[in-house]
């Protein structure tokens, strides 16, 4: 460990009475929690205790967080490698040396026969920053492949693309969550926080207690929408038209902040012209939202002294997701609701390390520090840190779905870690076929997921409470997850796996197993990049309970002047360097950069410091209803399950709360189909058929059905979804596709491909 080591992170298992401060392994809130190892009768031998000092959740946890230690039990997780010793044979227990040799041989054999790009790597948005960083380095150096992407592409890539276009920088929230409770009005688009991030709902409750207003945009009346002052229920796939209609009214009613637009933006005339083509009556016909409701929403948003728009997967998981988010950003810019205190646009990142996971190199087009892989200067900087020639670094590869679609054809072998695309990918039956057609598949996971069950080799890896590492939450706050217990015998960390595989592939150096050593290298690789972590250390994170990036390293005396806050402007974190006077440490040592919790207050991260309006226009979804498929399907999550369910479906308390899939439909539609509550209903799209019990409620539009996507088998929602991709973000259109609904009787057969 380096001199910046935090209070011992790996020793808690030797002192059972100690409580280890750490963070929940699930969503991007990264709620603070304490773990007390050795608690008698506790799930996984670890007791969860409140950590009220961490201000994101103030001790509150949802059911998933409370029960997270259940996954530490050897009864539900993998504890030894598994290998398939003959084609079509079963997975059998094996020793680590045999398993690692088989992985190295399988990858090398394909690479030798078909070239480096015939080998792919697929990562996950739940991996720590250290794992994501080393996985990207492994793909590009040890394998020499361009074919790496991750399941975070399915999370908020559309918002990221829109952020970059408008602001020049992508960070989920450009302000701390605490600011949400203090603004005057929030428009929440396509998010059901009450079920997806329950501890965050208190910010909306506090907002309303302070007199602020909440507008929720969702085709369903969810538990979150029930809290709203105004609920707008547009037809799925029409959020873009809704935002444009509101901007039209802003212009027509003289609510444009002309001073802000003139001083801090460019491109307004073109964006204004695009919005004026979407007059309110047209928008009502497209969305189903009445014009008076549109006017009410505009009044609430503009009459408040400050306002925010927060989006989530609803508007983002569309084939026009980048434009849809861009339209909401345009609304913020036109009304002066960006780059000002308590105002702005933000994206509610979903996965545990969805923010950090896309910053440090496991994305097809990126290098660490959120640098572009096709930027010569970025390539040269990272190559220097890695000690290689920039010319040896592969170029950009395929996006996530395109990579999965190429399996068994152009890409013949795959190393997959932290993802379960057999359940989570769109057109899932097709993806399952492609995975099964690979020459070789190796999976690193905590449990035997549906995807791992198809592998040639499965490597059991440590999980959140068994290893130390950093994550970056939806606010851009870099946090430290501390090891509380040792992994079971027979389990290794992902860093140890990458180290061993790299050595077998001829790279014996450059793949450390110590997470802090990896983080120190990540700091150097990110230095000067958009996501600059160079001023962040493990000790700082521990002392300050997280550090907001960008946080550049301040040069020592004699090495140059202290850098400014950078190209993003904003306010530094208050009191973020305990014990240091304003001028720095005694003897003239400059104080460390305090981090940047609030971006864009002085300037945006563009060349001229101005935000960019991007003109957009409504267009239909990739697949609209017709006579054969007259309805729309939208998908989402439920409170007790998480993502593909690979982990939460193994926790008894969570399964009791949400035991299986269902189809939510309106009473009028149920009557037309002839199904009653709880009876099996079939949902059919052009890609397949899914069967699940009916859940009948007036809280959904009559032209729409909803399915959660956490389950495999006959009720797998992603059998139905459309892989049509956004042209910029390459995000699949999970949130809208054309379907029909039929009574299924007693039939519960597997969904057809």
Q: Is 712 part of a structural domain of the chain?
A: yes
Q: Among candidates 350, 338, 368, which has minimal Cα distance to 159?
A: 350
pLDDT of residue 45: 84
14-18, 123-127, 504-508: least confidently modelled range: 14-18
pLDDT of residue 96: 98
Q: Is 569 part of a structural domain of the chain?
A: no
Q: Read out DSSP for 226-278? A: GG-SEEE-PPTT-HHHHHHHHHHHHHHTT---HHHHHHHEE-HHHHHHHHHTS
As a whole number of angstroms, the distance between CA 276 and CA 711 comes to: 43
pLDDT single digits (tens) 382-406: 999 999 999 999 999 999 999 999 9
The answer to whether the CB of 194 falls within 8 A of the CB of 222 is: yes
Alpha-carbon separation of residue 574 from 57, 76, 171, 739 (angstroms): 19, 44, 20, 52
Q: Is 547 part of a structural domain of the chain?
A: no
In terms of domains, do 709 and 719 share one? yes
As a whole number of angstroms, the distance between CA 328 and CA 277 comes to: 16
pLDDT > 90 in the chain, percent = 89
As a whole number of angstroms, the distance between CA 629 and CA 621 comes to: 14
CB atoms within 10 A of CB 745: 12
Split at pLDDT 50, 70, 90, the class of 352 is confident
The predicted model gives 325-354 an average pLDDT of 95
In terms of domains, do 381 and 497 share one? yes
Which ranges of 78-121 does DSSP label H, i.e. alpha helix?
A: 96-114
Q: Is the pLDDT of residue 38 over 90?
A: no
The answer to whether the CB of 213 falls within 8 A of the CB of 232 is: no
Mapped onto helix, strand or coil, the DSSP state of residue 55 is coil
Q: Is 543 part of a structural domain of the chain?
A: no
Q: What is the CATH number of the domain that holds 690?
A: 2.40.40.20
Split at pLDDT 50, 70, 90, the class of 581 is very low
pLDDT averaged over every residue in the chain = 92
Alpha-carbon separation of residue 379 from 277, 386, 657, 701, 715 (angstroms): 43, 10, 49, 49, 45
Contacts for 226 with CB less than 8 Å, ≥ 6 apart: none
Q: Is the pLDDT of residue 249 over 70?
A: yes
Angle at 406 between CA 401 and CA 409, to 5 degrees: 165
CB atoms within 10 A of CB 254: 7
Contacts for 607 with CB less than 8 Å, ≥ 6 apart: 168
In terms of domains, do 172 and 142 share one? no
Q: Is the pLDDT of residue 576 over 60?
A: no
The neighbouring-strand residues paired with 690 are 683
The answer to whether the CB of 304 falls within 8 A of the CB of 267 is: no
Split at pLDDT 50, 70, 90, the class of 156 is confident
As a whole number of angstroms, the distance between CA 358 and CA 366 comes to: 8
Q: Is the pLDDT of residue 585 over 90?
A: no
As a whole number of angstroms, the distance between CA 635 and CA 706 comes to: 5
In terms of domains, do 390 and 435 share one? yes
pLDDT of residue 8: 39
Q: Which pair of tokens denotes residue 216?
A: 């929720």
In terms of domains, do 168 and 238 share one? yes
In terms of domains, do 357 and 443 share one? yes
Q: What is the pTM of this model?
A: 0.93
pLDDT of residue 707: 98
3-7, 325-329, 343-347, 641-645: least confidently modelled range: 3-7
Q: Read out DSSP for 471-494? A: EE-TTSEEEEEPP-SPPPTT-B-H
As a whole number of angstroms, the distance between CA 380 and CA 351 comes to: 31
Q: Read out DSSP for 442-462? A: EEEESS--TTGGG-SEEEEB-
Picking from 319, 347, 375, the residue at the C-terminal end of a domain is 347
The predicted model gives 238-263 an average pLDDT of 98
Picking from 347, 373, 396, the residue at the C-terminal end of a domain is 347
Q: What is the CATH number of the domain that holds 300?
A: 3.40.228.10
Q: Among candidates 429, 406, 404, 434, which has minimal Cα distance to 419?
A: 404
Q: Is the pLDDT of residue 584 over 60?
A: no
H or E element at residue 217 = strand 213-217
Q: Among candidates 201, 432, 424, which has minimal Cα distance to 317?
A: 424
Tell me the residue range of the domain where 412 lies. Answer: 82-155+353-465+483-513
Q: Is 139 part of a structural domain of the chain?
A: yes
As a whole number of angstroms, the distance between CA 332 and CA 17 comes to: 50
pLDDT of residue 186: 98
Give the up-direction half-sphere exposure of residue 288: CA atoms within 13 A in the CB hemisphere: 18
The answer to whether the CB of 301 falls within 8 A of the CB of 307 is: yes
Contacts for 602 with CB less than 8 Å, ≥ 6 apart: 565, 569, 570, 609
Q: Is 492 part of a structural domain of the chain?
A: yes
In terms of domains, do 299 and 321 share one? yes
Q: Among candidates 56, 138, 644, which has minimal Cα distance to 360?
A: 138
In terms of domains, do 431 and 497 share one? yes
Q: Is the pLDDT of residue 1 over 70?
A: no
pLDDT of residue 588: 58
569: left (phi over 0), alpha (psi -120 to 50) or beta: left
In terms of domains, do 647 and 504 share one? no
pLDDT of residue 618: 97
Q: Which pair of tokens denotes residue 24?
A: 């929940």
pLDDT > 70 in the chain, percent = 92
| Residue 527, phi then psi, degrees to nearest 5 | -55, 125
pLDDT of residue 570: 63
Q: What is the CATH number of the domain that holds 56?
A: 2.20.25
pLDDT single digits (tens) 403-431: 999 999 999 999 999 999 999 999 999 99
Q: Is the pLDDT of residue 577 over 70?
A: no
The predicted model gives 543-558 an average pLDDT of 88
Q: Which pair of tokens denotes residue 193?
A: 């926080």
Q: Is 663 part of a structural domain of the chain?
A: yes
Three-state DSSP string of 638-699:
CCCCCCCCCCHHHCHHHHHHCCCCCEEECHHHHHHHCCCCCCEEEEEECCEEEEEEEEECCC
Q: Which pair of tokens denotes residue 279?
A: 């007059």
Picking from 301, 328, 347, the residue at the C-terminal end of a domain is 347
Q: Is the pLDDT of residue 509 over 70?
A: yes
Q: Among candidates 667, 637, 660, 630, which has minimal Cα distance to 741?
A: 630
Q: What is the CATH number of the domain that holds 438?
A: 3.40.50.740
Bigger pLDDT: 585 or 404? 404
Q: Among candidates 662, 628, 629, 633, which has minimal Cα distance to 737?
A: 633
* Overall domain count for the chain: 4
Q: Is 554 part of a structural domain of the chain?
A: no
Split at pLDDT 50, 70, 90, the class of 580 is very low
The predicted model gives 186-215 an average pLDDT of 96
The answer to whether the CB of 199 falls within 8 A of the CB of 29 is: yes
pLDDT single digits (tens) 676-700: 999 999 999 999 999 999 999 999 9
pLDDT single digits (tens) 619-630: 999 999 999 999
As a whole number of angstroms, the distance between CA 113 and CA 412 comes to: 10
Three-state DSSP string of 729-751:
CCCEECCCEEEEEEECCCCCCCC
Q: Among candidates 173, 191, 193, which has minimal Cα distance to 183?
A: 173
Q: Among candidates 62, 76, 60, which has minimal Cα distance to 27?
A: 62
As a whole number of angstroms, the distance between CA 545 and CA 32 comes to: 9
In terms of domains, do 286 and 151 share one? no
Q: Is the pLDDT of residue 704 over 70?
A: yes
Q: Among candidates 575, 534, 574, which has minimal Cα distance to 554?
A: 534
Q: Is the pLDDT of residue 12 over 60?
A: no
The answer to whether the CB of 30 falls within 8 A of the CB of 471 is: yes
In terms of domains, do 284 and 422 share one? no
Split at pLDDT 50, 70, 90, the class of 41 is low
In terms of domains, do 171 and 236 share one? yes
pLDDT of residue 17: 52
């Amino acid at each position: 460990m380096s001199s910046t080591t935090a209070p011992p992170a790996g020793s808690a298992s030797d002192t059972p009475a100690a409580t280890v401060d750490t963070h929940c392994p699930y969503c991007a809130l990264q709620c603070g929690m304490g773990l007390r190892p050795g608690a008698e009768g506790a799930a996984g031998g670890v007791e969860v205790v409140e950590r009220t000092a961490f201000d994101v959740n103030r001790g509150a946890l949802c059911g998933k967080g409370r029960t997270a230690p259940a996954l530490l039990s050897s009864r539900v997780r993998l504890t030894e490698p598994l290998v398939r010793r003959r084609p079509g044979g079963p997975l059998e227990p094996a020793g680590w040396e045999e398993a690692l040799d088989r992985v190295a041989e399988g990858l090398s054999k394909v690479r030798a026969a078909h070239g480096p790009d015939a080998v792919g790597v697929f990562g996950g948005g739940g991996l720590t920053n250290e794992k994501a960083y080393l996985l990207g380095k492994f793909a590009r150096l040890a394998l020499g492949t361009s074919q790496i992407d991750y399941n975070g592409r399915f999370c908020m890539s559309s918002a990221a693309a829109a952020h970059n276009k408008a602001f020049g920088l992508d960070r989920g929230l450009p302000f701390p969550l605490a600011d949400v409770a203090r603004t005057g009005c929030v428009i929440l688009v396509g998010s059901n926080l009450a079920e997806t991030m329950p501890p965050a709902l208190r910010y909306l409750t506090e907002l309303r207690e302070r007199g602020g207003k909440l507008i929720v945009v969702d085709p369903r009346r969810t538990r979150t929408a029930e809290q709203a002052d105004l609920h707008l229920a547009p037809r799925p796939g029409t959020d873009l038209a809704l935002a444009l209609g509101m901007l039209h009214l802003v212009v027509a009613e003289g609510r444009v902040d002309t001073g802000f637009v003139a001083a801090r933006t460019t491109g307004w005339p073109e964006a204004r012209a695009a919005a004026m083509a979407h007059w309110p009556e047209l928008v009502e016909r497209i969305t189903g939202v009445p014009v008076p409701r549109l006017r009410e929403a505009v009044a609430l948003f503009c009459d408040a002294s400050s306002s925010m728009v927060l989006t989530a997967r609803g508007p983002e998981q569309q084939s026009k997701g980048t434009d849809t988010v861009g339209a909401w950003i345009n609304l913020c810019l036109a009304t002066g609701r960006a780059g000002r205190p308590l105002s702005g646009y933000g994206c509610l990142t979903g996965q545990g390390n969805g923010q950090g996971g896309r910053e440090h190199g496991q994305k097809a087009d990126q290098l660490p520090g959120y640098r572009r892989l096709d930027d010569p200067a970025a390539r040269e900087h990272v190559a220097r840190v890695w000690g290689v020639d920039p010319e040896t670094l592969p170029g950009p590869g395929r996006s996530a779905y395109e990579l999965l679609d190429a399996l068994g054809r152009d890409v013949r072998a795959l190393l997959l870690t932290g993802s379960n695309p057999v359940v989570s990918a769109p057109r899932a039956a097709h993806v399952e076929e492609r995975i099964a057609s690979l020459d070789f598949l190796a999976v690193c996971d905590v449990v035997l997921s549906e995807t791992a069950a198809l592998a040639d080799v499965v490597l059991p890896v440590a999980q959140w409470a068994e290893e130390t590492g950093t994550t970056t939450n939806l606010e851009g706050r870099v946090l430290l997850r501390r090891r509380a217990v040792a992994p079971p015998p027979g389990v290794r960390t992902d860093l140890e796996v990458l180290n061993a595989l790299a050595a077998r592939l001829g790279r014996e150096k450059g793949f450390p197993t110590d997470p802090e050593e990896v983080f120190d290298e990540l700091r150097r690789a990110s230095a000067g990049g958009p996501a600059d972590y160079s001023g962040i250390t493990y000790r700082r994170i521990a002392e300050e309970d997280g550090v907001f990036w960008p946080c550049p390293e301040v040069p020592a005396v004699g090495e140059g002047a202290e850098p400014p806050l950078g190209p993003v402007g904003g306010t530094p974190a208050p009191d973020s360097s305990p014990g240091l006077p304003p001028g720095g440490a005694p003897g003239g040592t400059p104080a460390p950069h305090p981090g940047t919790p609030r971006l864009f207050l002085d300037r945006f991260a563009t060349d001229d410091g101005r935000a960019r309006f991007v003109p957009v226009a409504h267009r239909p979804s990739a697949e609209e209803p017709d006579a054969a498929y007259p309805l729309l399907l939208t998908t989402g999550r439920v409170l007790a399950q998480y993502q593909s369910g690979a982990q939460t479906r193994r926790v008894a308390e969570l399964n009791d709360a949400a035991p299986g899939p269902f189809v939510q439909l309106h009473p009028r539609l149920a009557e037309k189909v002839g199904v009653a509550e709880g009876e099996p209903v079939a949902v059919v799209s052009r890609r397949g058929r899914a069967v699940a019990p009916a859940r009948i409620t007036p809280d959904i539009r009559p032209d729409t059905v909803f399915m959660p996507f956490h389950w495999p088998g006959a009720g797998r929602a992603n059998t139905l979804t459309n892989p049509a991709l956004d042209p910029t973000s390459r995000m699949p259109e999970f949130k809208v596709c054309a379907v029909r609904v039929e009574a299924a009787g007693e039939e519960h057969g597997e969904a057809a491909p």
